[in-house]
Amino acid sequence: MTNLKNIMTRAWEIAREAVANFGGKAVEYIAEAMKMAWAEVKEVRYTVEDLIAMGAKRWQKAGYDRLYLNNAGLKLAGLEISRYNTGNVSLAKLNGEKVSNTKGSNMASIVERAYIDLTTGKLHCTQAKDDDVQQAVIALENNLKLA
């Protein structure tokens, strides 16, 4: 359960910061500050263990520490991929909306091969040339926050 007192306290801190930056009164900023405080509470952060449970694989060797996202990348990007027994894509959806099998396959190949360098916390993935495929990469970056 979320502690409402902590959310209100944080909202007033944000409002006072706005006063210091822009002037005026804190009460003038409280509505937007409440939205920001709630957004901070709602923000989901994943631990390495969470991502492994979602299908990621950790690789450590020669000073490298990487977490390859695999199926976890698909979930975080909002991709749903169904495949035939041959491995070809039979159905592809991005955030619940159907996309072509080719685009779904392209998105999946980029997102599944993405990895996080755990020493720096940086996400590494192949640059997508197609705008639609870039949507999946952007969604992955937005939804992936490490604890």
108 closest CA partner among 65, 118, 122, 130: 130
**Same structural domain for residues 38 and 52?**
no
* CA dist., res. 14 & res. 7, Å (int): 11
Longest dimension (CA), the chain: 64
| Domain encompassing residue 112 | 48-143
Per-residue pLDDT of the chain (147 residues; tens, 9 = 90+): 456 788 889 899 999 999 998 899 999 999 998 888 887 776 667 788 888 998 999 999 999 999 998 888 888 888 899 999 998 999 999 888 899 999 888 888 888 888 888 888 888 887 666 666 666 777 777 767 666
Does one domain contain both 94 and 137? yes
Q: Do residues 73 and 131 both lie within one domain?
A: yes
Examine the domain organization and report whether 36 and 73 are in the same domain: no
10 & 78 share domain = no
Is residue 26 domain-shared with residue 69, that is, in the same domain?
no
- For residues 82 and 131, membership in a common domain is answered with yes
In this structure, the answer to whether residues 68 and 120 fall within a common structural domain is yes
Residues 75, 26, single domain; the answer is no
Q: What is the DSSP string of 110-130?
A: HHHT-EEETTTTEEE-PPP-S
**C-alpha radius of gyration, the chain, whole number:** 20
Per the structure, the count of domains in the chain is: 2
Nearest of 113, 107, 112 to residue 94 by alpha carbon: 107
